[in-house]
Structure 1
Amino acid sequence: MKSQNFAKAEMLIRKPVAMVFGAFIDPAVTTKIWFTKSSGKLETGKTVEWVWEMYNVTVPVRVLDIATHKKIEIEWGNQGTTTTVTWTFTALADDATFVSIVNSGFKGDSDALMAQIRDSTEGFTLVLAGLKALLEHGIQLNLVGDRFPGEMQ
Structure 2
Amino acid sequence: MSSTQDMQGAPVAKATMMIRRPAAEVFAAFVDPAITTKFWFSRGSEPLRPGGTAQWFWDWYGVSANVKVLDFEPGARLRIEWGDTGEMTTAEWTFTALSPERTYVRVVESGFRGDDKAVVARALGSTEGFNLVLAGAKAWLEHGIQLALVPDHFPEDARHLG
TM-score (norm 1): 0.97
Paired position in structure 2 for 1:31: 37
**Distance between the aligned counterparts of 1:58 and 1:130, measured in 2?**
19
Paired position in structure 1 for 2:3: none
Runs of 4+ in 1 over 6 A off after TM superposition: none
Within the candidate set 56, 62, 70, 1:64 is matched to 70
Paired position in structure 1 for 2:51: 45
Paired position in structure 2 for 1:2: 7
Paired position in structure 1 for 2:27: 21
| Structure 2 residue identity aligned to 1:20 | V
Count of aligned positions = 153
| Structure 2 residue identity aligned to 1:2 | M
1:1-153 matched pairs, under 5 angstroms: 1-3=6-8, 4-153=10-159
**Distance between the aligned counterparts of 2:25 and 2:76, measured in 1?**
12
**Distance between the aligned counterparts of 1:16 and 1:110, measured in 2?**
39
**Distance between the aligned counterparts of 1:131 and 1:143, measured in 2?**
10
TM-score (norm 2): 0.92
Unpaired runs of 5+ residues, structure 1, are none
How far has the Cα of 1:5 moved from its partner? 2.3
Unpaired runs of 5+ residues, structure 2, are 1-5
**Distance between the aligned counterparts of 2:143 and 2:49, measured in 1?**
28
How far has the Cα of 1:2 moved from its partner? 1.4
Range with greater deviation from structure 2 (1-10 or 33-42): 1-10
Q: Secondary structure at the match of 1:87?
A: strand
| Structure 2 residue identity aligned to 1:113 | V
Residue by residue over 1:94-117, the C-alpha shift from the partner in whole angstroms, topping out at 9 and shown as x without a partner, is 100000000000112221011101
Between the aligned residues of both structures, percent identity stands at: 52
Residue by residue over 1:122-152, the C-alpha shift from the partner in whole angstroms, topping out at 9 and shown as x without a partner, is 0000000000001111110000010111111
Q: Secondary structure at the match of 1:133?
A: helix
